[in-house]
Structure 1
């Protein structure tokens, strides 16, 4: 198994897609959850819109992203062409295909993870934020020292 070239290629691809999709996904989910934790107008609509990709079927998401990442007529290659670059073959290039797959994973799971983060943030007692504010902590300090450790 450890001498098989396909094993190492598969392991490298799995690790790369895992990092390319998980790190930005969790960072964006944390930011979205932090924004949704504030009293915003239309909060319910925004939460629904953020969670909608999770409720979308995998087949529908695949069809949409196949159109976006199409080599000849894809929207992303069209925009890349407007900027002056050559079209990217998203299905055969190693890095390009990993970016395409990672973007699908990010789109699909960011809202779900934001909802999980938001549930955790809403369980933090408001008194902790009030105490931090009275101690002179900025919003950033409150986020780092009150929100994240919880």
Structure 2
């Protein structure tokens, strides 16, 4: 795993001291490949942990359901106690048209059309007041294939 201390001297500085220019690019691409591989491993571990979390949540839910089906509302152990506490009822709307007007409220939602702003900016080169444009870029690393193609 890459640690913060390892990044104090940049990969470029190390490459400057040890290798000619062409090797620097190869080293950087190799380093990025290793980082990507580690990121993929972490993603897999996250998925495994999410699956385990879901299984434990399901087990707890089944345990709660079994306890709720019990006849008693209180269960006492030597050091523990389980109590079934009724929750606040939830309102489910079956048919909105049948609900009386006194229970209805009006919500006004104003959304800004960012795609239209971007289109107008591309057409006119001007931004409307209250809007800023964030320009970003990304880096793409290419690793040479055996036959000389880039990919």
Answer whether TM exceeds 0.5 for this pair: no
Query: Which interval holds the TM-score relative to the shorter structure?
Result: under 0.3
| TM-score (normalised: structure 1) | 0.26
| TM-score (normalised: structure 2) | 0.26
| Structure richer in helix, relative to its length | 1
Higher-Rg structure is 2
Task: Choose between structure 1 and 2 for higher RCO, CA contacts under 8 A separated by at least 6 residues.
Answer: 1
